[in-house]
Amino acid sequence: MPKKRTLLILLTGVLVITPLMTEAETVFPDVGGNHWAVDEIQYITEQDIVSGYDDDTFRPKENVSRAQTAKMLANALDLNIENPTDPEFSDVEKDSYYYPYIAAVANEGIMTGDGETFDMSEELSRAQMSVVLSSAFGFEKTGDGSFADVPEDYWALDAIQRLAANRITSGHADGSFGPGESTTRAQFSVFLARAMEDDFRVESVNTPPSDVGSDEKAWHFRGVGLGDSETSLKATLGEPKEIEQSRYGFEWYLYHNNYNDYVQIGVEDGEVVAAYSNQNTWQGEHDLDLNDRKSDVLDAYGEPLEYIQKGGSQFNVETEDSSSVFKSNGQYTTFFYDTHRSNLITAVFIIDDEIEEGFRQYYAEPDRVLKESFESQVFHLTNAQRKRYGKRILEWDDAISETAFSHSVDMARNHFFEHQNLDGEDPFDRMLDDGIHYSDAAENIAYGQVSPLYVHQSWMNSTTGHREALLGDYHRLGVGVAFDEIRKQPYYTQNFYTPK
């Protein structure tokens, strides 16, 4: 097969129910007779749904994993685990203990991972638990009940409402649900027992206080808005997948579900100060969404800013077709547009005005932490965009990341900007020099963009092939970022390839 090489450059189921157990004697030594979930745990144990650990414990406080969830659901639904069709998850070996259970639930469309991986050890959030139980048991929605921390645009709202309508969950006492909280083994046992047997179901659902929502924020991302506490953020979305440094100095908390529902939430001193997403995860002013265009934004907001006043200086902002910046209600809002699709809104970035105005420079002070953060963000933003377009999720590749980094360093130190280095080597020469053998490969480079949010946008709006590389049929990605020592401008290199 010929090698494909691309160079790109840029500036800028049926159930059998048995009677309930009422014995005082417990099955597991760590689930005493007074444990709040003892009846449900004993019930699903007697149904041969769960067997506990090799040391005869149940470990009720441990968080349930996706693999454990698959096993319990497959047993509860009596799914076929004898020679099931292979779902071909790259991270689930056929000799794995959990393989037949994972294959069974995947074949039924109950838990499908991201299509390529399953993430066996990943913990199950309460929102994810709602989705898999609703799918597994086919619960119908009979009302529009709500919880204080589940907004109308939340990705799992429908599934959570189905659990509430069918008395599977009562929510927390304060009227919240805690969608981002991890699900413990005891909690999942209770939810599963309720799904299987009516006598376990709750009598009523805890509703939020009447004043909740009366002062609803105009902007929120998966239920999180500026000014929210870090505690509230984690109660809603759970622990982040990654924490990365921003150019402003605050930390980006990265959240996604196999790159669905991707958001970056900025946190400083225990408070949310910024948010970004390039997917349909946000709700803002004027009822704008990803189906609206630049013209709709301008009709709603008026003329965009040309500069931001920071102290005695004016800092120019992007005034090209690909973005617009506005200030209102104590925040700066940047809309990014897809110039390949008639300027549809493609991403949104909001930041507290005091944070923005307090950052009185274009480029951050570079260090190793910022370098690695920029590289990680470029990788995650790429996969979030690819997920949106139905493309394969790329694997991070350390070897080719070193290749990419070396080229960025070379460009920054020697003040040139080309795919070909000063020794006449192109990226494919450099890959081979580093022992990387490929069937397809491509490279994107860029410099000067102040952060990964902006370089990603530039590549996506490029008319010279960067977008095609970013969305191309590759398997692996490496990213390298280096900074000009004097001007502090970042140089970015993306190397994509499919191993030969």
pLDDT tens over the chain, length 500 residues: 445 555 555 554 223 333 333 344 567 999 887 788 889 999 999 999 998 899 999 998 899 999 999 999 999 999 999 989 999 999 999 999 999 999 999 999 999 988 789 999 999 999 999 999 999 999 988 776 678 888 887 889 999 999 999 999 988 766 788 888 889 898 999 999 999 999 999 888 877 655 444 334 579 999 999 999 999 999 999 999 999 999 999 999 999 999 999 999 999 999 999 999 999 999 998 889 999 999 999 998 888 898 899 988 889 886 567 999 999 889 999 999 999 999 999 999 999 999 999 999 999 999 999 999 999 999 999 999 999 999 999 999 999 999 999 999 999 999 999 999 999 999 999 999 999 999 999 999 999 999 999 999 999 999 999 999 999 999 999 999 999 999 999 999 999 999 99
**CA dist., res. 424 & res. 426, Å (int):** 7
| 8 Å CB contact between 111 and 66 | yes
Contact by Cβ (8 Å): 345, 293: yes
**Which helix (H) or strand (E) element contains residue 185?**
helix 185-196
The pairing of beta strand 476-483 with beta strand 395-396: parallel
CB-based contacts of 311, cutoff 8 Å, min separation 6: 357, 360
220-358 topology per CATH: Pathogenesis-related Protein p14a (3.40.33)
Domains 220-358 and 365-499 share a fold: yes
DSSP-derived 3-state class of residue 348: strand
Could you state, in order of their start, the residue ranges of all structural domains in the chain?
38-200, 220-358, 365-499
Query: Distance (Å, rounded) from C-alpha 30 to C-alpha 43?
Result: 16
d(CA 258, CA 254): 12
Longest dimension (CA), the chain: 79
- Rg, C-alpha atoms of the chain: 25
Residue 495 one-letter amino acid: N
Decide yes or no: CATH 3.40.33.10 for domain 365-499: yes
Name the phi and psi angles at 136, rounded to 5.
Answer: -65, -40
Cβ count near 65 (within 10 Å): 19
Task: Evaluate whether 226 touches 216 at the Cβ level (below 8 Å).
Answer: no
